[in-house]
Structure 1
Amino acid sequence: MTQFTPLLFVLLWSSGFIGAKLGLPNAEPLTFLLLRYVVVIVLMSGLALAAHARWPSDGRQIMHIAISGTLLHALYLGGVFTAIHRGLPAGITALIVGIQPLLTALGAGALLGERVVTRQWIGLLLGFAGVAMVVAHKTGAVPSTEVVSMLAPALVALLGITLGTLYQKRFCPRFDLRAGSVVQFAASALLTLPVACATETMHIDWTPHFVFALGWLVLVLSIGAISLLNLLIRRGSAVNVARLFYLTPPTTALLAWAVFGETLTGLALPGMLAAVTGVWLARPR
């Protein structure tokens, strides 16, 4: 794993919020994700078969990979997409999910036996403060009458990404990324399908923006960024992986400024600096 892998992961992962903003006007969130899962399953199955990838043969390993997949994909992505679809600004969604490194650090000691030193705790707290500064100007965009409806899916996403990182590091840190991804996304699709059928119309407007967003999320996020995330979980501590998520909101803000012309407030730049400093402090020895 090269020294640039974490930075590449942050860039690719951050672009997911941009893809969601482009595609969600044309499809309901779970329908969008279900289609994304199916396309990834087809592509990764073909890649795994062509490369003679090693498929998990042990039932227990398959179960662990499937559970980690539903946490990292079905719960996390489903929560994020539903929150944004209901009108929660992407910045606020990122802020809520930004609590994940702190929760992961709390769980890493109890579940994984990882020791988090004082310097890392300071870095994690500083990183969260930086994230809050970057997205502070968007806090007033949430109507008080719809706070619970908007925030609930984001909290589900926070739970999913935190438990998913800890669970995969604890029970299935090593598996073939091609074959394992098929298992993870198949489990996510099986969980998402009945919920989407029960709560959504399943209608899709096949506009050029939607097709581009779907292709981007499949190739760049589900195949590229998720593969990098699995590599990071395999080779690093849970806290070391989690701290990188503090860089997502600042990177997303910069991408939104470049792509959509969204403004950056006076707190954004010092917030980005604080987030980067926090990530640096939270690094392992």
Structure 2
Amino acid sequence: MPWLFVLIWSTGFIVAKYGMPHAEPMTFLFLRFAGVVVLMVPFVVLARVPLPRRDGHVDWAMIGRIALAGLLLQTGYLGGVWAAVKLGMPAGMAALIVGMQPLLTALISLRLGERLRGWQWLGLLLGIVGVGLVVAGKLSAGSATPFSVLLAVGALLSITVGTLYQKHRCPVFDLRMGSLIQFTAAALACLPWMFLFETREVDWNLEMVGALAWSIVALSIGAISLLFVLIRRGAATSVSSLMYL
């Protein structure tokens, strides 16, 4: 399962490369998240998947926590990265910044009482070096603006906090209903940014449709479901370190 997650997750920047020329960041992400919701609603309804409940009543507090984790893992992370690249940051630099996520997760996890073995630290450090070597030839800081750097750092913080928050505050929930809640919240969160800062124009062609379809089915439904399972089963640092592979 970890290797399948890594394989699918690694296609994220490829999707951005093919999708970004045809739609602005939040517009594309809204279509992506809304597409997931449209596909999942029939399955959730037909399977009669219940909302999170506690003591016989709908647990609105848990629903809120699940939604917040979704905002951090989806809108905050993806929106920050896509917007940074759209504003001129080289994809290699964006990858290097968000590639610090496993190390940041490890440092925060130590404060939360999670133990790391020596080999885990070694793996994290080797991963950082590997990311640096891979993207070193692609860095072009001259085209990155302070605001684009701020967006990328915000994306880094968002996925780090989101991973830890879901691990500790909502570790167990039905993946079908939980995913529906998260992607609904993520889609709604895109709307203000779309209407305030974007034209909402989409260049519909085969490349755009292919990128959108892959991002909905493989990345948002496939990879994110696997990520949720891995977060539930393992330590937050171990899950985060998979992103170096």
Structure 1 length normalisation: TM-score?
A: 0.81
Runs in 1 of length 4+ with deviation above 3 angstroms? Answer: none
Partner of 1:125: 125
Q: Given that residues 88 and 145 in structure 2 are in contact (C-alpha distance below 8 angstroms), is that contact kept between their aligned partners in structure 1?
A: no
Q: Give the Cα–Cα distance (whole angstroms) in 2 for the partners of residues 48 and 187 of structure 1.
A: 16
Equivalent position amino acid for 2:202 in 1: I
Unpaired runs of at least 5, structure 1: 248-285
For residues 114-160 of structure 1, what are the alpha-carbon distances to aligned partners after superposition, in whole Å with 9 as ceiling and x for unaligned?
11133322221121011101111011x2325x431332221111011
Correspondence 1:95-110 to 2 at 5 A: 95-110=96-111
- Counterpart mapping for 1:152-231 below 5 A: 152-231=150-229
What percentage of aligned pairs have identical amino acids? 54
Q: Take 2:232 and 2:179, find their aligned partners in 1: how far apart are those partners?
A: 14
Q: Is the 8 A contact 1:45 1:178 kept in 2?
A: no
Structure 2 Cα separation of the partners of residues 119 and 20 of structure 1? 33
Partner of 1:48: 44
Distance across 2 between alignment mates of 1:37 and 1:93: 22
The amino acid of 2:122's aligned partner reads I
Measured on the aligned residues, the alpha-carbon RMSD in Å equals: 1.2
| Rounded Cα–Cα distance in structure 2 between residues aligned with 1:55 and 1:7 | 31
Alignment-derived partner of residue 142 in structure 1: 141
Which runs of 5 or more structure 2 residues have no equivalent in the other structure?
A: 53-57
Q: Which residue of 2 aligns with 1:7?
A: 3
Q: What secondary structure is seen at the aligned counterpart in 2 of 1:138?
A: coil
Counterpart amino acid of residue 117 in structure 2: V
User: How far 1:223 moved relative to its partner?
Assistant: 0.3
CA-to-aligned-CA distance 1:228-261 (integer Å, 9 cap, x gap)? 00000010000110100111xxxxxxxxxxxxxx
The 2-side partners of 1:192 and 1:89 are apart by 23
For residue 222 of structure 2, give the secondary structure of its aligned residue in structure 1.
Answer: helix
1:92, CA displacement in angstroms? 1.8
Measured in 1, the distance between the counterparts of 2:4 and 2:29 equals 23
CA–CA distance in structure 1, aligned partners of residues 175 and 50 of structure 2 = 9
CA apart distance, 1:173: 1.2
Separation of aligned partners in 2, 1:182 and 1:23 = 23
Amino acid of the residue matched to residue 31 of structure 1? T
Letter in 2 for 1:34: F
Q: Distance in 1 between matches of 2:13 and 2:42?
A: 27
Aligned residue among 16, 22, 27 for 1:26: 22
**1:258 maps to which residue?**
none
Give me the whole-angstrom Cα distance separating, in 1, the residues matched to 2:7 and 2:95: 14
Equivalent residue number for residue 235 of structure 1? 233
Residue 64 of structure 2 is matched in structure 1 by: 63
User: Across the two proteins, how many residue pairs are aligned to each other?
Assistant: 240
Q: What letter is aligned with 2:14? A: I
